[in-house]
Amino acid sequence: MKTTYAVAALAAGANAASIHHRHAHDALHALEKKSNDNSTCGCTTIYSTYYGQPTLVFPSVPAAAPTTSSSAAPTTLTQTQVVVPTPVAQTCSTTGVYTFPATTVTLTDSTTVAVPTTTAVTSGTNVVGGVTTIVSTATTVTCPYATVSTSEGVTTSVIETTTYVCPSAGTYTIAPITTTVTEDTTVTVPCVTSYTPGTYTQPEVVTTITETSTVVYCPFDVPTPTAETTSVAPVTTSAAPVTTSAVETSAVETYPVVTSSVETSAATATEYPTSSSKAPAPTGGLGGAAGQPWGVTYTPYTTDSTGECKSQSVIEADIAAIAAAGITTIRVYSTDCHTLDWVAPACDKSGVKLIVGIFIDTAGCDASNPSVQEQIDLIAKWANWDQVDLITVGNEAVLHGYCTPAELAALVTKAKSAFTGYTGPFSTSETVNIWQQEEFTSAMCPVIDVVGANAHAFFNQGTDASEAGAFVKSQLDIINKACAGLEGYIMETGWPTKGNAMGKAVPGVSEQEIAIKSIVAAVGDKAVMFSLTSDAWKDENTDCGCEQHWGCASVLGITL
């Protein structure tokens, strides 16, 4: 029997500082969760737990036993009781034609329960369930979500609530569940389902079962109102529609679902053309040596509180020190502070490659944004493509609400047309949860060549320093599946030396060394370390209190 089971959530060129694209983390990263990678949702999450009555006030109604017809031996059935009008799970032990009689349930009051729901998953790590919410502006969303609780060996579905502070318009998946399977299969996850008063009918279903021990879910129709009810809303659930396995039938209907938990409207996406001539994908040029970091992020600003542009001699010394430690690549975020006329020549002299970036830090994700257009023009004029490993357009620009997916895709296409002679790969860098959104991948996958993601284990409160490598590896596994045929790379990952503990994630000098060595061992050849230096100009007034303390040069063997 192919079983189903429940899984629990693991609770550059611009030569003046006037165009200072200062990159830093912020409180949004506090949502880096072990479930995705997380699954960052672009919001600050505050967990509280709500436990309702241990049993519902409605009487249990036993599901009617089916009749069968088959030339084989008589069939037997294992079934569950109907407590509320959820799809009835019934296990058919043999093949044959099953007839499931009609069942009716009448509810006199509204109720919300955790209901088991099946969904098909592929081999590997999958993110399922959760509550998908679309918000049209910055807002706070408080909603219930379903999870499982285990006590004294008994696993029970429970409903908890969570509050997300969403900083901008977008689509957010709240409290998803991560499961890892070794083959394509069907899993069962709990989901929040609300029922309004009314009479629910599960119609008669005639189904041909072609495999033994098949589980069939028989859904209920949308209810008719009771005498006391003037209108009845459809059933609301956070999970995917129920499906059946190895069943030949036209009688099983899709369970009605509504995926948004708040009354909001989606922002209208502008239509932009995609690239008609993609640059050829890389053929093995990206990444570093096994057991070594691919690169380190580099910003040409002084490390004091002023954050002014570094001098040319300091930049040259920095790059020479990076090269001396065996680091082959640096990632720059923009064209700030002589990136193209001082940083790039220093890299060329020391044999260090560049990941060139176009930084977007305000709304205006197109060439009409003067800052964006200036960076594109400077890079196009510079055009030393033999120094470039990768071009990234945007860093968490969609996460922060500066770009829609369609706008960012159009900007990548714009850069491709502007950078004449460049035949290397293009990408962008977003958090893993953004890559898990269909709107984003459908827009971006056709115009990029590799999948780039920022993944910080420190912001996953269930991960300590020694587990950082395993966490980042799980994030890489997720993005490797984001775009068919495209390989994933970690564009930013690290661990701070000071700040506030984030659950099991504790900052510190020794913790940083443990974490970064763990990351390098697990995915170093496909990861860029963040960052070369600690920077006093960054904002320290964040939840983690860690923004100024990510410098990891000493751990990487870089002597500045």
Task: Considering the candidates 32, 396, 467, 547, report the single residue annotated as catalytic.
Answer: 396
pLDDT tens readout for residues 489-543: 999 999 999 999 999 999 999 999 999 999 999 999 999 999 999 999 998 888 8
Q: Assess whether 492 carries a catalytic annotation.
A: yes
Which pLDDT score, from 0 to 100, does residue 250 have? 28
Q: What is the C-alpha separation between 64 and 98, in angstroms, rounded?
A: 12
Average pLDDT for 300-316: 96
> Is the residue at 396 inside a domain?
no
Angstrom CA distances, 218 to 16, 33, 157, 205, 495, stand at: 67, 34, 20, 7, 49
Given a contact cutoff of 8 angstroms between Cβ atoms, the answer to whether 236 and 193 are in contact is yes
Q: What is the C-alpha separation between 378 and 15, in angstroms, rounded?
A: 11
pLDDT tens readout for residues 391-429: 999 999 999 999 999 999 999 999 999 999 999 999 999
Give the pair of three-digit tokens for residue 218.
């028989």
> How many degrees, rounded to 5, is the angle at CA 210 between CA 209 and CA 214?
60
> Is the residue at 555 inside a domain?
no
> Is the residue at 98 inside a domain?
yes
Task: Considering the candidates 32, 374, 407, 492, report the single residue annotated as catalytic.
Answer: 492
> Is the residue at 227 inside a domain?
yes
- 83 burial (CB, 10 Å; 0-12 / 13-18 / 19+) is middle
The yes-or-no verdict on residue 29 having pLDDT over 70 is no
Q: Assess whether 511 carries a catalytic annotation.
A: no
- Containing structural domain, residue 200: 57-118+190-259
> Is the residue at 69 inside a domain?
yes
The yes-or-no verdict on residue 72 having pLDDT over 70 is no
Given a contact cutoff of 8 angstroms between Cβ atoms, the answer to whether 183 and 120 are in contact is no
Given a contact cutoff of 8 angstroms between Cβ atoms, the answer to whether 382 and 13 are in contact is yes
> Is the residue at 67 inside a domain?
yes
> Is the residue at 2 inside a domain?
no
| pTM of the predicted model as reported, rounded to 2 decimal places | 0.56
Domain total for the chain?
A: 1
> Is the residue at 548 inside a domain?
no
pLDDT tens readout for residues 81-126: 445 676 666 778 788 878 878 878 787 777 777 766 667 777 777 7
What DSSP assignment string belongs to 385-429? GGGEEEEEEEESTTTTTS--HHHHHHHHHHHHHHSTT--S-EEEE
